Structure 1
């Protein structure tokens, strides 16, 4: 009964939010374009993505009709970060390659959200600061990020390797490190929850391991709170199936744990 009430509330909230999006986007896009976008995006995207960001994403997806990929950044000085969005057709390893490119520029990922639409378009959004934790507004840096990302994501160059991890010592305490699997909450995906000490290049290292283990990240939520990174990845194998084999889950656990310590 509780689950049914929660689902009803979610449906009501999605309906309310999509109506607002239709009104705000109506001055910029045809109704068919807006409806196509909303119908293709997963429920979690419609529930939790800020409307201003959704409007940006609709515009990016329209541009994708004529471009191989679309990259956009927007400075948010009131929030202390720059928001980078990358939109591309089903680009395997998009999250990992983008995270690696940002880390190679000494840019820190505070949070990230990754989604895949029903028609195979990936939209990844990153909230990013400079190496000192403040907003980076140097346009030459972002032009370099965009150029390198285009080369990496179109296969013209290999993903850059981030420098050595810049860990911080915390005398007297060791931040929690954990890797947990959830195969019950979703009918389609295995959810991998990772907690570790945040450091430069961490997201790249995690996603690179998942990529190397032939796991496809359909969506992800990346959150940093203080010294801890708490990341959730919705994954399948390359056949779009959940990962249920216990031996394989154990191997995934061990390889992720090795890069987290």
Structure 2
């Protein structure tokens, strides 16, 4: 018996127990070194430099680009570096009229949004195009997300269903690409101005919207989806539309970049090489320059779980050049040809989705064509 106890004691002494780490300590470095924003109007004669340094975390680059593009700002150049756990980014920006950022309210809004200083309530700000950013929407609303085959009259039929079911559309957005459609509608009950929570009514709404999406020139369409949820905060509609069309695999369709090349003389070309010295995959994107181009490529790389360690973005006339040094979140590079082809297709699709909206004006913005239809 004594020998057995001795063996147990020895075996337990050989076990190494890891020290307990408070989960909140994992983010302590990020909380201490939260993003800092410097707005520099002195260095460049024709643009404002937005400089950001911070402890690095996945998705932070997208958050910064998202803030700037939501304010209708033009990013003509950008340099990104995030090796060693620290991020330092520089964005060359102007408004849509080519002017520097001099409005104190706009500058303060950028700093509050990027630095996430929640103790200060960010006020509404008007962009140079007249849009109001930061507007308060109802505290809660029901969100309908729909994907399916695009066809003439589809938006009108979706609107009719929501109207017949006594729904007030607070905001709606719709994109089409490669014969596929994605739509997000933020709605409340017309009578109560509150979200729709009755399960039977939600099921009926989903069934009717599914019936609308099922009709495809007399053919049965199996690639359709309708989801409903109640949210307490507004999701970023354009990022969500990218995610929905990616999940719907619109990048596997036909058309897109070749058509743009015929029309504009500038097509979309994506190439992937390997940087042997630092073991990065180098993703190079050449395309027609336009607003929100940087957002569309960064959101795609982020949602596909790639980490951008370095990047250089610039434009020459109508041509935009983007170069990203990336790895997987586990540190691996893009090694297989099938993975490279998939990334190329997804980036081309992300760029062409926006180009499609430029041609057809299908995207509905907040409180515009489809708002308050009941």
Distance 1:161 1:143, change over 3 A: farther
Report matched runs for 1:12-161 at 5 Å: 66-76=32-42, 78-118=44-84, 120-151=85-116, 160=236
Distance 1:243 1:162, change over 3 A: same
Instruction: Tell whether the 8 Å contact from 2:53 to 2:88 is kept in structure 1 after alignment.
Output: yes
| Aligned pairs, number | 190
1:226 shift after superposition: 1.2
Deviations 1:31-76 (A, max 9, x none): xxxxxxxxxxxxxxxxxxxxxxxxxxxxxxxxx9954221111113
Distance 1:159 1:147, change over 3 A: farther
Secondary structure at 2:41 match in 1: strand
Distance in structure 2 (CA, Å) of the matches to 1:158 and 1:151? 16
Q: Which residue of 1 aligns with 2:285?
A: 194
Distance in structure 2 (CA, Å) of the matches to 1:159 and 1:200? 21
Distance in structure 1 (CA, Å) of the matches to 2:323 and 2:117? 24
Which stretches in structure 1 are left out of the alignment for 5+ residues? Answer: 1-63
Which stretches in structure 2 are left out of the alignment for 5+ residues? Answer: 1-29, 119-232, 242-259, 353-374
Instruction: Tell whether the 8 Å contact from 2:33 to 2:55 is kept in structure 1 after alignment.
Output: no
Taking structure 1 as the reference length, the TM-score comes to 0.65
Computed over aligned residues only, the root mean square deviation of the Cα atoms, in angstroms, reads 2.9
1:176 shift after superposition: 2.8
1:91 shift after superposition: 1.6
Distance 1:77 1:126, change over 3 A: same
Question: Pick from 302, 306, 313: which aligns with 1:222?
Answer: 313
Question: Pick from 283, 286, 298: which aligns with 1:207?
Answer: 298
Deviations 1:110-135 (A, max 9, x none): 100000132x1111110111111222
Question: Pick from 241, 252, 256: which aligns with 2:343?
Answer: 252
Computing the radius of gyration from Cα coordinates, the structure with the larger value is: 2
4+ residue runs of structure 1 moved beyond 6 angstroms?
A: none
Distance 1:106 1:86, change over 3 A: same
Distance in structure 2 (CA, Å) of the matches to 1:83 and 1:231? 18
Distance 1:152 1:93, change over 3 A: farther
Instruction: Tell whether the 8 Å contact from 1:152 to 1:159 is kept in structure 2 after alignment.
Output: no
Structure having the larger proportion of residues in helix: 1
